Amino acid sequence: MGKTLSQKIWSDHLVRSGSGLPDLLYIDLHLIHEVTSPQAFDGLRMNGRRVRRPDLTVATEDHNVPTENIDQPIADEISLKQIETLRNNTAEFGITNYPMGDPHQGIVHVIGPELGLTQPGMTVVCGDSHTSTHGAFGALAFGIGTSEVEHVLATQTLPQPVQETMSITINGELPEGSTAKDVVLAILNEVGTGGGIGAIAEFRGSVVESLSMEGRMTLCNMSIEFGAKAGLIAPDEVTFEYLKGLENCPEGENWDEAVAYWKTLFTDQDATFDREVVLDGAAISPQVTWGTNPGQVIPVSGYVPNPQDYADPAEREAAERALDYMGLQAGSEMRSISVDTVFIGSCTNSRIEDLRSAAAVAEGRSVASGVRTLVVPGSRVVKEQAEAEGLDKIFIESGFDWREPGCSMCLAMNPDKLTVGERCASTSNRNFEGRQGRGGRTHLVSPRVAAATAIAGHFATPEDLS
């Protein structure tokens, strides 16, 4: 019987297996950042261990860095200490770090791909759940905890139990105006927050093939939101085209050899999946979350659900609690709900294509009065590219706030936060209670819906704007 894409990558990285222990996988790329690494380095020091492959380890500062006034010292002393700890640790162990202000700095899942560090067939890990993003390149990429960060630093391997396989096929063609973000929100609506637990998901079908690398990254990014160990897409010409000429990608004969190998990375025709999900792309309209987990999704054209319509008592109770927290009435039209803030950014939607699509909506229009906005590019490279294209001017002229790169309001670790009751249309990945600031109310949307919502002052698609 044939193998799936993830099974091929898995077996190509087996250091050892059997005798009652989980498989030991070799890790090709270990990305680290300031938040989940300090205790791992402490562990190394405590046990007198070294970093086995500093050359396969790359660091950046993203989670807690401010997105304005970055020429000044970080005001928050605890954040400053965490950044300094990363700088000291990477210096001590000989690891490359891209610090705040550096031309290569940015959100770890934005810079890995743009530097060509992420390549097809690799195993990629990082102490961050959205590491699944790198699966867009046909890499097996997943988030790990701090104990595992320490394990990879010390051994460049990870023990892993074998996972189930899951295929998520999106057939047909997306309607005009629907994006990769809408696709992944539609998947979440279908399978829920637990639908992928215990499995590695492969995204397939004509809709996936037609996506750009940016779109594929958005799709894979949110695999963890339905609980999948990883999400990945078979590499193709779109992938190779994106990678060719990038700083850390192979060149010359090495490139040819690499591409020949990458072309073997697909699911064999006679391979089978443990779980299969099929969606019709044509039925996916722009989506928005209404609740407090990313599985609580409706179309932007829809109405807030009524908890009484849920047969399952647990779901009903969760819906009631979500509506209460979100300050919403069952049956309200989403388009009638006004927002206080719009956040365009995060490892889900802060790449150049995301900024272009938001800017296209913003151009020649103005942000509704009283709406606070933040546009936070995923990296300095993205920021400079956007500025070269004049996108910054479009945003600024429309009344959007143009910021420095980082994770920003996605997780409220830096000064960019929601206040109690503040409602936000956000291109990030999690609408959990308090995720963007204590008491804040998050609705997940695509960049173009976020931009249209900023202009309308309430949830809207660009097509709704006059």
Show contacts with another protein in window 213-242 (CB under 8 A). Answer: 224-225, 227, 229
Nearest-angstrom CA–CA distance, 215 and 190? 20
* CA torsion, ordered 95, 89, 129, 211, to nearest 10 deg: -30
What letter represents residue 222's amino acid? Answer: M
Mask of contacts with another protein, 350-369, x by CB under 8 A?
A: --------------------
Report the residue number, 143 or 405, with the smaller CB distance to another protein. 143
Instruction: Give the closest residue to 343 by CA, choosing from 286, 285, 412.
Output: 412
Report the residue number, 50 or 388, with the smaller CB distance to another protein. 50
Bridge partner residues of 277 (DSSP): 168
Q: Which of residues 298-317 bind another protein (CB under 8 A)?
A: 314-315, 317
Q: Which of residues 70-99 bind another protein (CB under 8 A)?
A: 76, 78-79, 81-82, 85
In the complex, least distance from residue 392 CB atom to another protein, rounded to whole angstroms: 28
Q: Which of residues 434-453 bind another protein (CB under 8 A)?
A: 434-435, 438
Pairing of strands 230-232, 29-32: unpaired
Q: Do 434 and 281 form a contact (C-beta atoms < 8 A)?
A: no
Size of interface with another protein, in residues (CB under 8 A):
75
Choices 65-73, 106-114, 298-306, 429-437; region in contact with another protein by CB under 8 A: 429-437
Report the residue number, 81 or 244, with the smaller CB distance to another protein. 81
Q: Which of residues 394-413 bind another protein (CB under 8 A)?
A: 411-413
In the complex, least distance from residue 16 CB atom to another protein, rounded to whole angstroms: 5
Token representation of residue 244? 């060719």
* 415 forms part of the interface with another protein (CB under 8 A): no
Beta-sheet strand order (sheet of 14-18): 14-18, 21-26, 157-160
In the complex, least distance from residue 95 CB atom to another protein, rounded to whole angstroms: 12
Choice from 3, 15, 389, 399 touching another protein (CB under 8 A): 15
Q: Which of residues 160-199 bind another protein (CB under 8 A)?
A: 161, 193-194, 197-198
DSSP assignment letter at 367: P
Choice from 68, 104, 116, 255 touching another protein (CB under 8 A): 255
- Beta-carbon contacts of 176 under 8 Å, excluding residues fewer than 6 positions away, are none
Choices 172-180, 267-275, 355-363, 430-438; region in contact with another protein by CB under 8 A: 430-438
Report the residue number, 162 or 283, with the smaller CB distance to another protein. 162
Report the residue number, 254 or 336, with the smaller CB distance to another protein. 254
Report the residue number, 230 or 451, with the smaller CB distance to another protein. 230
Nearest-angstrom CA–CA distance, 73 and 79? 11
Choice from 293, 301, 338, 385 touching another protein (CB under 8 A): 293
Choice from 62, 114, 148, 392 touching another protein (CB under 8 A): 148
In angstroms, what is the C-alpha Rg of the chain?
Answer: 21
Report the residue number, 134 or 229, with the smaller CB distance to another protein. 229
What's the farthest any 2 CA atoms get from each other in the chain?
A: 66
Q: Which of residues 19-38 bind another protein (CB under 8 A)?
A: 20-22, 24, 26, 28, 35-36, 38
Report the residue number, 339 or 413, with the smaller CB distance to another protein. 413
- 66: phi then psi, degrees, rounded to nearest 5: -70, 160
Report the residue number, 161 or 364, with the smaller CB distance to another protein. 161
What letter represents residue 164's amino acid? Answer: E
3-state helix vs strand vs coil in the chain, percent to 5 = 40, 20, 45
Q: Do 143 and 127 form a contact (C-beta atoms < 8 A)?
A: yes
3-state secondary structure of 398: helix
In the complex, least distance from residue 251 CB atom to another protein, rounded to whole angstroms: 9
Cα dihedral sign for 93, 94, 100, 104? negative
Nearest-angstrom CA–CA distance, 458 and 40? 44
